[in-house]
Chains A and B, each alone.
Chain A
Amino acid sequence: MKAKIHKFEQNGTYILLDINSGAVHVVDRMIYDLMDTFDGGNEEEVVRIWSGTYAAEDIREALSELHELMEAGELFAPDIDVPPTFRQTGLVKSLCLMVAQDCNLRCKYCFGDGGSYGQKRAVMTPEIGRKAVDYLIKASGPRKHLELDFFGGEPLMNMKTVKAVTEYVRRREKETGKKFKLTMTTNGMLLNDENIQWLNDNDFALVLSLDGRREVHDAMRPDAGGHGSYDRVIQNFHRCVDSRRGGDYDYRGVYTYLRGTYTKKNMDFTKDVLSMNDEGFDILSMEPVVMKDSPLGFTEEDLPRIREEYDRLTEAYMKRHREGKGFFFFHFNMDLSNGPCVAKRLSGCGAGHEYVAVAENGDLYPCHQFVGREGYRIGHVDEGITDHALSQYFRESHVLNKPKCRDCWSRFFCSGGCHANADLFHGDIRQPYEVGCEIQKKRLECAIYVQALLALEKEDA
């Protein structure tokens, strides 16, 4: 049976989520208990079961409040099926360009085999890059806003193609009326003044990879010679972020943020998030590594420790916020009132149907993590997507079609987890990676708690 509600306690706050409406209620302990029994129509049963614990009069008052929520559509809202707004076939709107399948770091957890993705080290030519732009313009149909992410490997190792493609994008924007948002994910090793200036002048959103504390970063992100990279990249990140302060980047939607990966070696990752914040960076992300059969990867046994650490991070986040020194943490960011529509919650990342990765040779894959994986090549920039059946399979692999997701309370927040991770662990994109699900659910609870507290504190102010 599909879960209709989810309730949890976080640091003494009782929270009730109505899954099909997205309503979040902060409730008292009595309501929290009653929801073990109440199904929307069994008042007498609720009174009978709980009258030994609470006064019958109080229970009836609580039930009356719960009925008010039901009438407002904020409790036991109807089940959601695939809406007509969810297109039967996807329109590609976002491309990941693997401009350099090569890298100057050898991160221990790299899913791209040190940038090569199991293939020979190579860089994308400007010609393939320009063909990718043309493919995206054609495949996106009437959609106006498009995204191009320069990825790798390390994209700054191939600035020739990055510059040529950017110049081409700006020309094609004028010709077609499309609007491209450009992003680059970089390890910072080649982020010199010249590159920073060029990226700023060209409105690039930047994702900068840093794992937190120096010792953690150096252990995980050495260069090809085995030397730590922290001291080299941190200076570059400072210069880059400082160069963007005070401008109108936020207004233009050009973000710059620091992201890290935590592994089994730093399950005390709150220290790494705070270390980045102490360095003066305030738009941050920290994500769990995903590795199979690796001493760095997580197993079910690690979950209690990871959950505990998210509790710690949540309290540290709120403490800094209350002290007027708050920072932005992606996974706690959630717009409870104006979140994505149901169609978006079903399409999720859109891998294989709205989002496609272009390998250096022009081959198309459902996403950057699938590059080089056997059986997942879905086309080429010259012809577009040719394996329509596989693309459609991705389109239809949404939460309402996945047995483990259909009934899960987090189905409209996580969109069923990562297909690449599901494939890695189960060889099937419809079988989610369970440890990832559990971490995601904990993160979501923390995010809902944070947003609930912020909303209540704003109300009280």
Chain B
Amino acid sequence: MKHIKTVNKPSMQATLKTGGCGECQASCQSACKTSCTVGNQVCEK
């Protein structure tokens, strides 16, 4: 494309059906503890 460069292959919609295993690391929404809010995490699968 000339005007747009997409930088990722997003998976969020797909995880509506496949997610929820809960094996991922705990995060902290204030970041005071794990320094990691949800957005900074990866899926462990």
Contact = CB atoms under 8 A, between A and B. Distances in A.
A455 B3 contact: no
Contacts of A259: 35
Given A85-B17, A85-B18, A368-B33, A337 B9 contact: yes
A93 B22 contact: yes
A69 B30 CA distance: 34
A339 B11 CA distance: 8
Contacts of A61: 2-3
A62 B2 CA distance: 8
A302 interface: no
B7 A455 contact: yes
Contacts of B38: 340, 344-345, 348-349, 412-415
A425 B25 CA distance: 28
B11 A287 contact: no
B13 to A, nearest CB: 6
Contacts of A277: none
A30 B5 CA distance: 14
A447 B17 contact: no
A144 interface: yes
Nearest to B10: A22
Which of A144, A333, A421, A451 has the most chain B CB atoms closer than 10 A to its own CB? A333
A207 B35 contact: yes
Nearest to A287: B31
B7 A257 contact: no
Interface stretch (A70-78, A118-126, A154-162, A227-235): A70-78
Given A22-B12, A331-B40, A341 B1 contact: no
B3 A69 contact: no
Interface in A368-386: 368-369
Given A21-B10, A80-B16, A418 B4 contact: no
A69 B41 CA distance: 25
A272 to B, nearest CB: 15
Interface string A144-171: 1101010100000000000000000000
A333 B35 CA distance: 11
Nearest to B32: A287
A65 B5 CA distance: 10
B35 A336 contact: no
Given A83-B19, A147-B26, A69 B6 contact: yes
Contacts of A66: 4
A91 B35 contact: no
B24 A340 contact: yes
A73 B32 contact: no
B8 A456 contact: no
B37 to A, nearest CB: 6
Interface in A35-79: 61-62, 65-66, 68-69, 73-74, 77-78
Contact of A25 (B7, B29, B39, B41): B7
A420 B6 CA distance: 36
B35 A421 contact: no
A338 B42 contact: yes
Contacts of B18: 85, 341
Nearest to A410: B39
Contact of B22 (A91, A96, A416, A421): A91
A85 B8 contact: no
A181 B21 CA distance: 17
Nearest to B16: A83
Given A68-B1, A447-B39, A22 B27 contact: no
A334 B28 contact: no
Given A413-B37, A418-B29, A341 B43 contact: yes
A24 B1 contact: no
Given A85-B19, A287-B31, A339 B6 contact: no
A355 interface: yes
Interface in A161-208: 181, 185, 207
Given A143-B23, A355-B26, A23 B39 contact: no
15 contacts: A27-B5, A66-B4, A85-B18, A85-B19, A93-B22, A287-B35, A330-B31, A333-B40, A335-B42, A339-B41, A348-B29, A349-B29, A369-B30, A417-B29, A420-B30
Interface of B: 1-13, 15-44
Interface of A: 16, 18, 20-28, 30-31, 61-62, 65-66, 68-69, 73-74, 77-78, 80, 83, 85-87, 91, 93-94, 96, 111, 143-145, 147, 149, 151, 181, 185, 207, 257, 259, 261, 285, 287, 290, 330-331, 333-345, 347-351, 354-355, 368-369, 410, 412-421, 436, 440, 444, 447, 451-452, 455-456
